[in-house]
Structure 1
Amino acid sequence: MEMEFTKGNKGCDTMEGSQREEGCRPDEELDDACGGDSMNGVSDEYPSDYAYVFGLSEQDIIRKVFRSEERAYDFYSKFGRCHGFGVRKGDYGKDEEGNLIRRRFFCNRAGLRDEKHLNRLDRKRGHRPETRTNCLAKLSIYLDRENSTWKVRKVILDHNHELTPRRMVHMIPKFRRISDAAKANIDGMRGYGVSTSKILGYMAGVAGGYSLLGFTKKDAYNYIDHMRRAKVVNGDSNAAIVYLEGKAAADPMSMARYNVTKDGMLANMFWADGPCRVDYQYFGDVVAFDSTYKKNKYQRPLVIFSGSNNHKQTTIFGFGLVLDETIESYTWMLENLLEVMCNKQPSVVVTDGDDAMIAAVKKVFPEATHRLCAWHLQKNVTSNGGEQMFREIFCKWLYADMEVDDFELEWEEASEKFGLHKKCWANQMYEKRHMWCNAYLRGKFCAGYRTTSRCEGINSHIKGFLNSRHSILELVQNLELVVREYRNNELVAQFNSIYSTPVLTTCLDPIERCAADVYTRAIFVLVKKEIDGVGAVNFVSKRRVSTTMV
């Protein structure tokens, strides 16, 4: 089946001289009346509304009055944060009319774990570490109906466990929260492919330390994982397809193709946006592709189609994700590349020595010259050829400008000397000589492609954008960032070619000036070498032979 579409809170770390010099507030003052009270000796790292909770005794708290039950809970939370314990809401009572009239707040280590969870025989995972100690610390409040205020009935300040040091209070679950600003910061940097560890390092540096972030690394990873799951709630493949459909709606020239297996799972996928298709029409005479990169959640081979533009830079024509590295998968990929690119056939295709690739290229691009990557061939010779002398000769065959007859003669001599007739890999290389020997390829325009090193360079570059845990949707989105950088490099090179004029240094000024106007800066450097070579020719004499001037 095939388918197509074209359309933080600061933590309480330190406190010096933490006793409040003023007395507690009178009974008649409400809880928010002194939210801005000052306190001598309190560190500037504390929020100002935390100052009044330091140094309060049991009697001070008993005399407190609150406007609402939530105000009381907020006070006890601040009290707990600044003294090293978490707070949770406990039981409550209501009157006959259903109105809340009493409430209790406990230390978060109150109670004990139910024994039935400890004695299970079918447990597979290890026990979580115990955090509850049956602590009795609490704050009990009741509603004063006459004044419509909440008053303290009982408070217990003693704990049966060690209080958390202030430098670690930010790790208590109750006091951890990722603010909306922090979420936006994380989402923004994640959208550009920045790793989570670097994001947290940057945010901690801005905040003044990890303790002042208001959340832990685990919270951040949980949030990112939650957002990732939310994006692919209906399936990873489906999410990627829906995303590409949205891109096609915004850019009518964007196209994507995919097919599915008999089980309805995603098999192969190819996609290219409008600028990629335009670039192919200009620079698609030489196409290189490689599929050695499998850095995604499903270990699917990622195929990158690339070429060389008029600035001698790498340009990307499209991406593909194949089910496996078979002839069928590569054939499907190349056929869809050809159809999406308006059936423009490349003149030269550069790949590594994979047999499935060779068969697919021969089937889909029968008229194209298929060139094998010289770097991969040299690597194979290094592992198979034991003689250093033979490796040097083979390197000469790859790159030297020589005639076909000379190569054939040298191959026969090397076969006798190194026993190549008895080696299977050598016989296979000789059968493929039309795809790697420069004697057979020197008349073909390859745009500087002798190896798939540009593909390897792309693979190396996108390591900063992809990792093995990425879903297909994240893979597609992050590859867009890679393409954006390559296009910016092309834009900079184009600007330099338009904005600046090279200095003329040869003796053939008219020719050099014309070349400077016609060619980009990168190509002009190559043309200038030819002009220098012509300028070095010395005139000796001339004579006429019939109608020919010599």
Structure 2
Amino acid sequence: MEEGKIDLNEMKDNTDHVDQDPSPSTVEEVKLPEVGMIFSSEEEVRTFYNSYATNVGFGISKLGGRNGDDGKQKYFSIGCAKNRKKVSQAKNVLHPRPSSKTNCKAKINVAVRNDGNFVITSVYIEHNHILSPGKSRHFRCNKVLNSATKRKLELNDQAGITLSKSFHSCVVEAGGYENLSFDERNCRNYISEARRLRLEEGDAEALSTYFCRMQSRNPNFFYVVDLDGESRIKNIFWADARCRAAYDYFCDVVTFDTTYLTNSYDMPFAPFVGVNHHGQSILLGCGLISSEDSATFTWLFNSWLTCMHGSAPKAIIMDQCHAMAIAIEKIFPNSHHRLCLWHIMKKLSAKLGGHVHYKMIKKQLKTIVYNSLTVDECDENWLKMIEEFKLENNDWLKSLYKERNRWIPVYVKDHFWVGMSTTQRSESMNAFFDDYVHSKTSLKQFVEQYDSALKKNIENEKKLDFVSFNSIMPVILGHPIERQFQNAYTNNIFKLFQDEIRGLMFCDASLLREEGTTLIFEVVENMLGQNGQPGREVSFRAYDQSVDENEGY
């Protein structure tokens, strides 16, 4: 036998870590990875190591790497897919979930040389689990759909042939399941994706006609289409001239939500929604996307940012979506990022409903979230709740506490949110489109109805403009500052200001002391309880640094 190769029959006899029933097709000589082996690309390294792993009987995955100061990759590791420690994802310890992780250390480390070649610098062969060459085809890294199979599946799907029959024909053609590099689930996922990307007759033409018509009306209409490898529509983004102009004025806070499915392809409608000078939801651009992964969100956010001349929103509100968060951190790194409070709180029953003290936990958690006046008070009461109800091992609460600076009101109150704490603006915009589209709406119908829906929204804004032009909200106190805002604000926004004026009736301010040019006040607020009954009194410290040393106060 050549040096550097291993016979699987011999390996089967000499180790306890190999399954005793390997497939006959895998009994062959296998080239072992060795220090000093040189490859021309990362793909070549992966192909070699995967071939070795397949014959030995384990799956592989990339474990990590490191880039140099120039941003280029310097080294990386590829190892056993059972690397890393087992972490239970189960919410109920009585119903644990299976885990494939055993903290296996088998891997190869690869360095990238200055000449661009890849060299193996270290090798770890030993595994801490049973190996099975006969089961190698079931590992995720070995499940691949080639282009010929994809085309065959699509043609059969268009011809009305069921997926199960298409897959069975692949099995027969290959001579058995063991000769396939994919399974029925891979085929089903691919067809599901292909159906979303496949347009009906007239859809592509309708999109092209609509976009060309809008650009001919106004050259500031912006659109971009993302195509897949076979030149099919994958994602779409567009914004008319009015959306782009409105963003110049109302770019403070944007909400983003993708829970609204608008057409028969299950392509989520992804609107960017802001708030105008009437407190009304306005559209600032929208997209139709084929999937909800970080790559798609990155494409969409980058398209929107390009449309808005590189001006990112000051703040953005979104649902608790990991893929979306990754894209936001990448495209909007300087924007304040807030999670939708409503979406989090509505999960209480699903996440904690099985606890024997659920009602008490729910009451305390709501008090902590909605009534905490300082960060220290919030943290102290949260930790007390965790200790009292022995919730230290609750993964959901752990994740919420870790991200508390993104959703608990007392943590985010120092930033401007236009009075919003949820993505309800996006959802109200979705409800607005309900009059025009539904789950069976084709892409062609959608772009036609979208324009009608947008025109109605613009008409509603014009009506509110007229109301503020033709009428005026009376003042409450007649104070000069109230009259100043009466002239500056629209009626709807002035109503919000007057709500703050009314709140002053429940506050009593007294001067504590003067420190240089700063006045320090104590403000005592009488917070109302249920049904307007007197509640607790809360004290604040207020600082006024507007005092002129020469004029006094």
- Which of the residues 444, 466, 482 maps onto 1:512? 482
**Which residues of 2 match residues 266-415 of structure 1 at below 5 A?**
266-386=233-353, 387-415=358-386
Give the AA of the match of 1:242. T
Structure 1 partner of 2:100:
none
Residues 284 and 507 from structure 1, CA distance in 2 versus in 1: closer, same or farther, beyond 3 angstroms? closer
| 2:226–2:235 contact (8 Å) kept in structure 1 | yes
Once the 2 structures are TM-superposed, how far is the Cα of residue 512 of structure 1 from its aligned partner?
2.6
1:369: Cα distance to partner?
A: 1.2
Give the direction of change, closer, same or farther, for the CA distance of 1:511–1:236 in structure 2 (3 Å limit): same
**Residue 334 (structure 1) shift:** 0.3
Indicate the SS of the match to 2:270. Answer: strand
Higher mean displacement: 293-302 or 455-464 = 455-464
Distance 2:409 2:260 in 1: 28
Are the aligned partners of 2:254 and 2:313 in contact in 1 as well (CA < 8 Å)? yes
Aligned counterpart in structure 2 of residue 247 of structure 1, from 198, 208, 214: 214
Return closer, same or farther for 1:233/1:419 CA change in 2, 3 Å cut-off.
closer
Q: Distance in 1 between matches of 2:320 and 2:512?
A: 52
Is contact 1:351–1:452 with CA below 8 Å preserved after alignment?
yes
What is the alpha-carbon distance in structure 2 between the residues aligned to residue 317 and residue 265 of structure 1? 26
- Could you say if the C-alpha distance between residues 350 and 541 of structure 1 is closer, same or farther in structure 2, counting changes exceeding 3 Å? closer
Aligned amino acid, residue 289 of structure 1 = F
Q: Indicate the SS of the match to 2:272.
A: strand
Distance 1:438 1:531, change over 3 A: closer
Q: Which has the higher strand share?
A: 2
Change (3 A) 1:356 1:233: closer
**Residue of 209, 217, 226 corresponding to 1:259:** 226
- Return closer, same or farther for 1:424/1:235 CA change in 2, 3 Å cut-off: same
Q: Distance in 1 between matches of 2:278 and 2:350?
A: 36
- The corresponding residue for 1:487 is 458
Q: Alpha carbons of 1:313 and 1:545: their partners in 2 closer, same or farther (altered >3 Å)? A: closer
Q: Secondary structure at the match of 1:259?
A: strand
- In structure 2, distance between residues paired with 1:459 and 1:516: 32
Deviation string 1:17-57 (CA, Å, 9 cap, x unpaired) is xxxxxxxxxxxxxxxxxxxxxxxxxxxxxxxxxxxxxxxxx
Bigger shift: residues 534-543 or 384-393: 534-543
| Displacement after TM superposition at 1:401 (Å) | 4.9
Letter in 2 for 1:436: W
Distance 2:243 2:316 in 1: 17
Q: Which amino acid aligns with 2:483?
A: R
Q: Which amino acid aligns with 1:519?
A: Y
Question: How many angstroms apart in 2 are the aligned matches of 1:409 and 1:450?
Answer: 23
Which structure 2 residues correspond to residues 375-524 of structure 1 after superposition, within 5 A?
375-386=342-353, 387-508=358-479, 510-524=480-494
Q: Which runs of 5+ in 1 are unaligned?
A: 1-123, 125-231
Give distance in 2, aligned partners of 1:544 and 1:359. 47
CA gap of 1:397–1:330, structure 2 versus 1, over 3 A, is farther
Whichever residue aligns with residue 346 of structure 1, its letter is P
User: Which is greater in Rg?
Assistant: 1
Letter in 1 for 2:298: T
Cα distance in 2 for residues equivalent to 1:481 and 1:301? 19
In structure 1, what is the Cα distance between the partners aligned to 2:459 and 2:386?
50
Which range moves more in the overlay, 328-337 or 477-486? 477-486
Could you tell me how far apart the structure 2 residues matched to 1:454 and 1:539 are? 36
Q: Deviations over 1:487-521 (max 9, x none)?
A: 1121111111111122233142x333222111111
What is the percentage of aligned positions where both structures have the same residue? Answer: 30
In the aligned structure 2, how far is the partner of 1:433 from the partner of 1:339? 31
Task: Give the structure-2-normalised TM-score.
Answer: 0.54
Q: What is the count of residue pairs matched by the alignment?
A: 319
CA displacement, residues 64-99 of structure 1 (integer Å, 9 cap, x when unaligned) = xxxxxxxxxxxxxxxxxxxxxxxxxxxxxxxxxxxx
Q: Offset of 1:526 from its aligned partner?
A: 2.1
CA contact (8 A) 1:397 1:439 kept: no
Matches of 2:407 and 2:509 in 1, distance apart? Answer: 40
Letter paired with 2:469: I
Farther-moved stretch of structure 1 (463-472 vs 397-406): 397-406
Q: CA deviation at 1:245?
A: 1.8
Give the TM-score normalised by the residue count of structure 1.
Answer: 0.54
Alpha-carbon distance, 1:393 to partner: 2.8
Correspondences of 1:209-224 after superposition (within 5 Å)? none
Q: Distance in 1 between matches of 2:392 and 2:515?
A: 53
- Give 1:328's aligned amino acid: A
Q: Distance in 1 between matches of 2:344 and 2:512?
A: 49
For residues 15-164 of structure 1, the aligned pairs below 5 Å read none
- Is the CA contact 2:315–2:417 (under 8 Å) kept in the aligned structure 1? yes
Residue 536 of structure 1 and its aligned partner are, at CA, apart by 8.3
CA change 1:539–1:383 in 2 (3 A) is closer
536 and 396 in structure 1: CA distance in 2 versus 1, 3 angstrom threshold: closer
Letter of the 2:498 partner, please give it: K
Q: Which moved more, 1:394-403 or 1:426-435?
A: 394-403
1:397–1:438 contact (8 Å) kept in structure 2: no
C-alpha deviation, 1:541, in angstroms: 11
Over 3 Å counting, the alpha-carbon distance change for 1:487 and 1:394 in structure 2 is farther
Once residues 328 and 515 of structure 2 are traced to their aligned partners in structure 1, the CA distance between those partners, rounded to angstroms, is: 51
> 1:90 aligns to what?
none
2:326 and 2:508 map into 1 onto residues whose CA distance is 51
RMSD: 2.7
Q: Which moved more, 1:344-353 or 1:391-400?
A: 391-400
Contact 1:348–1:371 (CA under 8 A) maintained in structure 2? yes
CA contact (8 A) 2:365 2:382 kept: no
Deviations 1:223-279 (A, max 9, x none): xxxxxxxxx986413431332122111111111011100011101110000011111
